[in-house]
Amino acid sequence: MNEWSKEMTSEEDLPTFFQGVKDCIPTLIGYISIGIAMGIVGVSSNLSILEVTLLSALVYAGAAQFIICALLVSGSPISVIVFTTFIVNLRNFLLSMTLAPHFTTYSLLKNIGIGALVTDESFGVAINKVARREKINAQWMNGLNVTAYIFWILSCMLGAIFGKWISDPEVFGLDFSLTAMFLALLVLQLQHIKNNKLKLYLSLIFYVVILMLILCMFVPSYIAIILSTIIVATIGVVKDK
C-alpha cells in the first residue's frame, strides 16, 4: 500500500462531524426534558421567553441556570449570582482538562471552542468513546457539542413558551431523566473497563460519595462536590500509575 493510500485510510478512520451528531442522539432525551423543565422554572421566576433563551445560550449549564432562577426569586445581588454560578461551573475545567490531551494537535482557538461547549453529557459520551479505544477529533467533538447546544436552547425556549400548560414537570418524570441518562453513561463506561482496573474505579466512586457526604457537613453541597471530585481524581491518577 503506497503512502497516499495509507493517508486516505487514516482519514477515513477518523470520526466525522455527522458521526458526532449521531452519537449525541441518545443524550437528547436528557437535554430536552431538563431543558423544558428549565424553561418552565424560568418563566415561573418572572423571566421572559427571550430572557430564558438568552440565559440558555450564554450560560449553557442546567444546574447553574436553575440556581440563577432561584437566586433571582430570592432577590440575591448580582455579585452573589455571578460568584455562585462560577463555583458551580468549576467542574467544567476538570472535564475539559481530562479531554484536552486528545486535542493537543489543534490550535488554541479550536480548543477554546471545544471546551466552551463541553457539558457533563458530552463529556460522558466522549470518555466512553475513549474507553472503547475509539478515536475522537475536533470534527466529531464539534458535531457532538453543537447538536447538544442547539437542542438545549430550543428545549429551554419551548419550556418557556408552553410552561403555562406544564406547571409540574415531575408528573411526567422529567426531573429524573437526567439522572437516568448519567446512570446509563456510567454503566456503558464500566463495561469497557479492564477487570484489573474495575475494582479501582468502583472504589474511587465509593470514596467520592463518602467524602462528599462528609464535606457537606462543613461546606455548601456544590463546593463539596467540587472538592471531593478534585481530591478523589488526584488519588485515582496516583493509583493508576
Tell me: the pLDDT tens digits for 68-118?
Answer: 888 888 888 888 888 878 877 877 888 888 899 999 999 999 999 999 999
Q: Compute the distance between CA of residue 55 and CA of residue 49 in angstroms, rounded to an integer.
A: 10
Pair 44, 137 in one domain? yes
Does residue 68 fall inside a structural domain? yes
Task: Determine the angle formed by the axes of helices 108-116 and 91-99, rounding to 10 degrees.
Answer: 130
Q: Check the CA dihedral 174-169-143-82 and report its sign.
A: negative
Percent with pLDDT over 70 in the chain: 79
Q: Are 126 and 141 in contact (CB under 8 A)?
A: yes
| 15 phi-psi bin (left φ>0, alpha ψ -120 to 50, beta other) | beta
**Inside any domain, residue 4:** no
Do both 184 and 226 map to the same domain?
Answer: no
Angstrom distance (rounded) from CA 12 to CA 42:
44
When divided into structural domains, the chain yields a total of: 2
Average pLDDT on 18-26 reads 93
Q: Where are the alpha helices (DSSP H) in the chain?
A: 3-13, 17-24, 28-44, 49-58, 62-73, 78-88, 91-99, 108-116, 120-131, 138-162, 174-191, 195-215, 221-240
Question: Position of cell 431543558?
Answer: 35
Q: Is 5 a domain residue?
A: no
**193: which DSSP letter?**
S
233: its cell numbers = 481524581
What contacts 229, CB < 8 A, 6 or more positions away? 91, 94, 208
185 domain-assigned: yes
Residues 114 and 220 in one domain: no
3 state DSSP class of 121? helix
Interatomic CA distance for residues 216 and 3, integer angstroms? 58
Same domain, 108 and 170: yes
Q: Are residues 81 and 48 in the same domain?
A: yes
Where residue 6 falls among pLDDT bands split at 50, 70, 90? very low
135 and 224 inside one domain? no
Domain that holds residue 230: 194-241
CA–CA gap between residue 10 and residue 13 (Å, rounded) = 5
* Predicted pLDDT of residue 5: 41
Same domain, 95 and 200: no
> What Å distances lie between residue 138 and 7, 13, 47, 134, 142, CA to CA?
18, 14, 35, 14, 6
Q: Are residues 114 and 222 in the same domain?
A: no
Same domain, yes or no: 172 and 207: no
pLDDT at residue 68, rounded to an integer: 87
Q: Are residues 232 and 214 in the same domain?
A: yes
Among 40-54, 126-140, 180-194, 216-230, where is mean pLDDT lowest? 180-194
State residue 4's pLDDT score: 42
User: Tens of pLDDT along 195-239?
Assistant: 666 777 778 888 888 998 998 888 877 678 778 877 887 787 677
132 and 206 assigned to the same domain: no
Q: Does residue 144 sit in the same domain as residue 225?
A: no
Is 103 within a domain? yes
Whether 144 maps to a domain, the answer reads: yes
140 part of a folded domain: yes
In a domain, 152, yes or no: yes
Residue 170 pLDDT: 60
